[in-house]
Amino acid sequence: DPYAYDLPEDVSEGFGASLTSVLELAGARPHNDSSLGRRIVLSSEGSLHVYLLLDASGSVRSENFRLFQECGAAIVDRLSSFEVAVSFAVISFASRALVIVSTAEDESADADEVLHRLENMTFTDHGNATGTNVRGALMEVYHMLLFQKARAERMGHPDSWRHVRHVVILLTDGRFNVGGHPRDVVAKIEDVLEIKPDREDYLDIYAFGVGALEVDVAELAAVASHRRDETHAFKLADAAALRQALEAALVATTLGDLCGVIVPAGASRPPWHVILRAGREQRCAGSLVGGRWVLTAAHCFLGGPAPHAWTADLGEGELVPLQRWVLHENFDVRAGVSRGIPEFYDYDVALVELEREVGTRGTPRGTLTPPSRPRRVCIPCTEDANRAMRKPPGMTCEEQEAELLGRPRVPAEFVSLDPQRMGVQIKRQEAWAACASGATQPGTPYAEAALGEVVTDRFLCSGQESGGPPEAATCKGESGGSLFLERRHRFIQVGVVSWGTFDPCRGGRRTVGGVLLRPPAPPGHRPRDFHISLFRVQPWLRRHLGGVLAFAPL
């Protein structure tokens, strides 16, 4: 039916099967699941060029053009957050084409610069030239390909272009009414890339027609790539439906052993989150950091049974027995008793070794990994964290700390008992003292103690500020869990939840729907939570995880 629209969920399924797989370098196609369709496959020596063609013709209207920009930004943002060599081109077109970013520029591989240019282009850049010249936009892609081949020859690597795979994503709203039919340019592109049956995977052209009734599906199909049992041309009701489809398609499910990925993006329980149980009792939380190892708080094991009586709940009914635990050698909860400190939580970190390896480590690249599968979190001062932040290899631990925690207030999250992701702000620099002082406020066990006797420089501090944004307080049972930050869809744990001045879950009251109630603190009390900074226990982490993780220089 030429007048029917594709449903966003159908578009995301068909488009996503190809696009999301570029997030992993792969040597062969995944098999055993014909429903996934052909996947874009990258060899270890290859890279990917993505060309975004955005319609800015008069019939689009500025609000829809803005949605096109947002769709393009989502593609750049998501693809660049993973460990794949990607360069981007951005072309807007009306009666003529404007190159915003070219793959001929070094900046095409800098996602931040690409996003900056994409987000700052305007609908009015084309003035009164209101036609729809798709052919002109594709000609710019063709010229970029010619330049790439010529540059490869000049640099003495005449065949290097053969390892680059190309994805063209066309977002338009109407017929191609200026510049002639674009099919001949598609033929030129296929010719320059030598697209034959044995190289058809090196070019994918996706055409999205949006909104207006005059969208001609046959014309879209004439531009798009053709594969057996696949669809590369889509027609959606409006730009909002397009955005919905693309966001769903960009959900990452073939990520191998990448750390710090939450799938789907809004999932309440991160895949690294572990619940530690002594028998049936939930004693603490923890985070999967690699192989068999779970990072948690040392105080969780005080007065508890031996390791064999514990299990790690990884979600989805997966329970793994504990083999042993390693507490930080400097942790001594009774160390301050002689000074009037009833419990002292400095160095409150431990590593738990499970009886078997869990997560995605060892998963072949390109293999489909279910979203629910346990996945490790990124921890700082590792090369994993450098890659997650898109920083060069060798970035030091000190530089990572400045990058992640170099502001007075740093948004972060922890995981509640429910489990839900809860928002806090880590207080640093000039905000630190006021936050930390809450440890010795009246009504706490430390009210008569000197602050330095209770809170050392190994603690990160969070808690509601007067006039500040709402912040959650941690509950008993949430200790040992991860305090983590988001950077470009990747998550890095910076702290281990240790202790707090107020337990909002103390009454254990729940709503009719079973949600745990977290009432506010009593008047006059300022809830404060303290977390062991992973930047301050690096020697211990390196000693025990050096064979599992690649650590960055201090």
Hey, where are the domains in the chain? Answer: 8-21+48-249, 273-545
The segment with the largest mean pLDDT, out of 66-80, 220-234, 334-348, is: 334-348
- Mean pLDDT for the stretch of residues 91-102: 95
More confident residue, 332 or 72: 332
pLDDT tens digits for range 450-499:
999 999 999 999 999 988 888 999 999 999 999 999 987 789 999 999 99
- Judge whether residue 80 has pLDDT over 70: yes
Query: Residue 442, SS3?
Result: coil
CB 535 within 8 A of CB 380: yes
The residue assigned the tokens 């010529």 is: 150
Distance CA(226)–CA(7), nearest Å, equals: 20
Edge-first strand order for the sheet with 97-101 is: 97-101, 86-93, 47-55, 164-172, 203-210, 233-236
Q: Which residue has the higher pLDDT, 252 or 318?
A: 318
**Tokens encoding 536:** 């301050």
User: Among 118-127, 155-164, 508-517, 526-535, which stretch is predicted with the lowest mean pLDDT?
Assistant: 508-517
The yes-or-no verdict on residue 539 having pLDDT over 80 is: yes
pLDDT at 177: 80
Choice between 32 and 216, residue whose per-residue pLDDT is larger: 216
pLDDT computed for residue 124 by the predictor: 86
Q: Classify domain 8-21+48-249 at the CATH class level.
A: alpha beta
Q: What's residue 39's pLDDT? A: 36
The answer to whether the beta carbons of residues 427 and 455 sit under 8 Å apart is no
| pLDDT score recorded for residue 241 | 77
Transcribe 364-386 into DSSP letters: PTT----TTS--PPB-SSBHHHH
What are the residues facing 52 on neighbouring strands?
90, 169
CATH class as words, domain 273-545? mainly beta
Q: What is the mean pLDDT of residues 103-129?
A: 89
pLDDT at 70 over 50: yes
Q: Please tell me the least confidently modeled range out of 276-285, 318-327, 510-519.
A: 510-519
Q: Which residues of 352-381 are buried (b: 16+ CB within 10 A; e: fewer)?
A: bebeeebbbbebebbbbbeeebbbbbbbbb
Asked if residue 130 lies in contact with residue 170, where contact means CB atoms within 8 angstroms, the answer is no
Q: Read off the pLDDT of each residue in 107-129 and give the average, rounded to a whole number.
A: 88
- What confidence tens digit (pLDDT) does each residue in 229-241 have? 677 888 887 777 7
- What separation in angstroms does the CA of 77 have from each of 87, 113, 116, 159, 246? 12, 11, 11, 29, 12
Query: What is the mean predicted confidence (pLDDT) over 241-253?
Result: 64
Name, in order, each residue with C-beta under 8 angstroms of 192's C-beta and a sequence gap of 6 or more.
142, 145, 146, 149
What confidence tier does 38 reach under pLDDT thresholds 50, 70, 90?
very low
Q: What is the largest CA-CA distance in the chain?
A: 87
* Active site residues per annotation: 299, 348, 479
- Residue 5's DSSP bridge partners are none
More confident residue, 43 or 354: 354
What was the pLDDT predicted at 362?
A: 45
- Mean pLDDT check: name the lowest of 114-128, 292-306, 402-416: 114-128
* DSSP character string of 507-548: T--B-TT-PBP-PPPPTT----EEEEEGGGSHHHHHHHHTTT
What is the distance between the alpha carbons of residues 18 and 30, in angstroms, rounded to a whole number? 12
User: Please, which pLDDT band fits residue 295 given cuts at 50, 70 and 90?
Assistant: very high
Residue 507 has pLDDT above 50, yes or no: yes
Most confident range, picked from 193-197, 234-238, 261-265, 391-395: 193-197
Q: Is the peptide bond before 264 cis (omega within 30 degrees of 0)?
A: yes
Over the chain, what is the mean pLDDT? 84
pTM, to two decimals: 0.73
Strands (E), 16-139: 47-55, 86-93, 97-101
- Give the pLDDT of residue 251: 54
Q: What is the pLDDT of residue 264?
A: 64
484 compared with 126, residue with greater pLDDT: 484
The pLDDT confidence band at residue 256, using thresholds 50, 70 and 90, is low
Structure-model confidence comparison of residues 151 and 17, the more confident one: 151
Residue 476 to residue 443: CA distance in whole angstroms: 18
In degrees rounded to 5, what are phi and psi of residue 283? -95, -40
How far apart (Å, rounded) are the C-alpha atoms in residues 316 and 132? 50
